[in-house]
Structure 1
Amino acid sequence: MKTIFFQLLLLIISFNTVAQSSRSKEWNNYLVKVEKAKIEKEKNRKVDRKSNAVTIEDIAECDLPNVTPPKFPNCDSEKNLSHKECFTASVQKFIKSKFFFPDFAIDNKIQGKVVLEFEIDEAGKLEIISADGPQNGLILEEAVIQMFSKFPILTPAYQCGQPIRISHKIPITFIVD
């Protein structure tokens, strides 16, 4: 009886060791992926991207009365909100509806803020410029990019009656309880 108990105990310990080894290998592979992504980001930053995009903050300070931010389809029916307020509220609603926290990040307690920089082009399509997250937060950055890949096409921003490209930054926070 003692022999069976001892063999069972050894079997449990060996399975636990294999599981820990597998988890450690998965984590190490993830860290390698993070380092490669950092190197790629640094290369992309060195290619000095000059954008002619207007920021949403510039619109509020613009001297021209006929500058409007990009517009979600539902913003036509939101009579009590300005275009800018409706845009902001619609982006927040979009984030809430598409938000997901990757299991790998939860399991490994990866959390923090990801700042997404994007532009809405003259056709109303979203173009992601960058997603910068916490150290070892590549999986969170990828989650935000995946989330915003489902962003709807909007009515573009207009200035002086012409569609313009506009940039925006949004912080998205992931917290593991």
Structure 2
Amino acid sequence: MKKILIVFMFLAASAGFAQEGVKVEGNKITVKESAPVWPGCEDSNETKKCFNAKLMQHIRENYKYPKNDDGDFIRGKAVVKLEIDESGEVVVKAVEGDNPKVNQAAESMIKKIPKMKPGTRGGKPASIKYTIPLTL
């Protein structure tokens, strides 16, 4: 009886500490990671494809081309490094490019990305980093 009670307590304790999305096989630990989900993509079978499509649509609709002193539109390239944090908010880490006005316009456009369902790592919300090269 004592042995059965000890085995039962061991199984109950190990089940209580198990994590969703973590698989252990011998010396190998696999942690399942999922990307953030853009609003409107929750029911999609291909959330990554939907995320990319919504991001491109957001860029087309929200990027405002800056103008130079003569009133001409400025075009250029920028690389935006961002993070979607544990709460689903977009945090811009850096914007690199040759033209400061293009960089500023790219940053303000990225900050308008809506709050989304955060990505997960091991079943828990986690921040996910992205680097987006833009030719504007």
TM-score (norm 1): 0.55
Q: CA deviation at 1:85?
A: 1.7
Give the counterpart of 1:152 among 107, 111, 114: 114
Q: SS of the residue aligned with 2:133?
A: strand
Higher strand share: 2
Q: CA 1:105–1:138 in 2, change beyond 3 Å: closer, same or farther?
A: farther
For 2:120 and 2:70, the matched residues in 1 are separated by 41
Q: Deviations over 1:79-107 (max 9, x none)?
A: 3xx22222222211111110211122884
Query: Are 2:56 and 1:92 aligned?
Result: yes
Give the counterpart of 2:36 among 59, 70, 78: 70
Unaligned residue ranges in structure 1 (runs of 5+):
1-62
Percent identity of paired positions between Structure 1 and Structure 2: 28
For 1:153 and 1:75, the matched residues in 2 are separated by 13
Q: CA deviation at 1:146?
A: 1.1
For 2:130 and 2:69, the matched residues in 1 are separated by 26
RMSD: 2.1
Give the counterpart of 1:112 among 60, 65, 76: 76
Higher helix share: 1
Unaligned residue ranges in structure 2 (runs of 5+):
1-28
The aligned amino acid for 2:34 is T
Aligned residues: 108
Q: CA 1:165–1:105 in 2, change beyond 3 Å: closer, same or farther?
A: farther
TM-score (norm 2): 0.70
